Amino acid sequence: MSLAMAASQIATQHAAADSAVHKWQVFRAICEAREMLGPSDRSLVVLNALLTFLPETVMTPGVNLVVFPSNAQLAARAHGMAPATLRRHLAVLVQTGLIIRRDSPNGKRYARKGREGLIETAYGFDLSPLVARADEFSALAADVAARRRQRQLLRERITIARRDCAKLLETGAPHCDVQTWEAFHVRYRQLAASPARSACVELLDLLASSLAALRDDIAAELGKFLKEQQISEKMSGSESQTGRHIQNSDKEILYMEEPSQRSQLNNTSLGTTAPIELATVLEACPDIHDFATSPINSWRELHGAAAIARAAMGISPDIWNAFRQQAGDDQAATVIAAILQRRDRISRPGGYLRNLNDRLRAGQFSARPMLLALARERMGRLPGDPSQNQRRSQIPDKTPGQIPGQIPGQIPSQILDQILDQTPGRSQDRDETRDQTRPRPFAPIPPGLTRLQAAACP
């Protein structure tokens, strides 16, 4: 006799007389708590067959709950189970305390009836423990269901945390510290394996907590990097300044536009501007050719060159995509070409483009005035680079037209003489400048010598 058998017999003796239970509800509770009670699924098939021999659905203590089927009938209701297998599973049900064996003097199963035709004594399998332990079975079934639901929720947490860690690691890998990210990868590989199906709640809870902690650490490191990037885009410093200053890109924008165009631009929106021609962009911004993989003959080729130039200048993809959505591909490529042309005057191209995007949303920006300003500057109608020499800066704004046959950018000697005569303090340089600008005739070559020999003579 096992302890479970003894406990079942004691519980049967002290069962309340009014504790009636539904036999199939008790059977479902036993099936739910099968792992905690001990019987196998095949043993429960035999128990189900025994319950079918009870004529009533409700089981009540005090009523004879002994069933006495023959092995042939019991095997038929157990889906044709073999006799040896049937006897083995009946022994399991007895040992686990789910039924009690009531043996007759000769070891056979039968019932003895009285004068009234009612069963007075029966020998077989007593199902009274199912009534006496019904509350216990219900509590065990509820506990098993709760633990199963808890395991399911923990597995969902593990899956979500593992997926979040993978996405965060992939997002921050190109930007954050390599050693820190490698340490995160090592922790993730240790926790990424799926837990076993039979893992207990405690193990699943520990794994879910570890993955959640890893996700929080990765998110904190990535948030720190994003915060530093935002500060670095807004704040900048120089060697002569110890404090921080906020970069104002409006000065750079106005520097590339004529004063007459600034007031016109404030009242002009993107939709009312004339279309920009590709030839005008290439003429005003020739530096964009350095970033093209082939000669630029179409807007599509300009788009590819602008994408390469954008990456070379350090403009983030988020800022670039936001500006492209607002301005369109053609105007965005034009603005990148203009920024590239004046990269020596723009210290922060990313912040500059963000400022342009804000002005574009407000309807206060168009690339056409910027492009025309660059074109006029290349043609000499706008002031050039502030680093030009002093002599060039003292030339009056009113310059005569170009003489036919003159090389572009070369000043004729007659005009240079007039400019130097009008410039105070430059009378001494006039003769030297005239001598340097005018071509000198070749000296006569002595007879019998070639020009090369004559040049070698002192």
Ranges of each domain in the chain:
3-132, 149-235, 250-378
Q: Give residue-wise pLDDT tens across range 30-87.
A: 999 988 888 999 999 999 999 999 888 888 876 678 888 988 999 999 999 999 999 9
Asked if 340 and 331 touch (Cβ cutoff 8 Å), the reply is no
Asked if 74 and 23 touch (Cβ cutoff 8 Å), the reply is no
d(CA 132, CA 126): 12
Q: Give residue-wise pLDDT tens across range 227-240.
A: 887 776 665 444 44
Q: Give residue-wise pLDDT tens across range 215-224.
A: 999 999 888 8
Closest listed residue to residue 47, CA positions, set 139, 144, 125? 125
Q: Which of 111-115, 122-126, 197-201, 321-325 has the lowest mean pLDDT?
A: 111-115
Q: Could you tell me the pLDDT band of residue 214, with boundaries at 50, 70 and 90?
A: very high
More confident call, 62 vs 403:
62
> Is domain 3-132 given the CATH code 1.10.10 in the classification?
yes
Q: How far is CA 353 from CA 340, 393, 425, in A?
A: 12, 31, 45
Position 144 pLDDT exceeds 80 = yes
Euclidean distance between the first and the last CA atom of the chain, given in angstroms as a whole number: 134
Which pTM does this prediction carry?
Answer: 0.43
d(CA 370, CA 33): 79
Per the listing, tokens 């739910």 go with 32
Other beta carbons within 10 Å of 236? 14
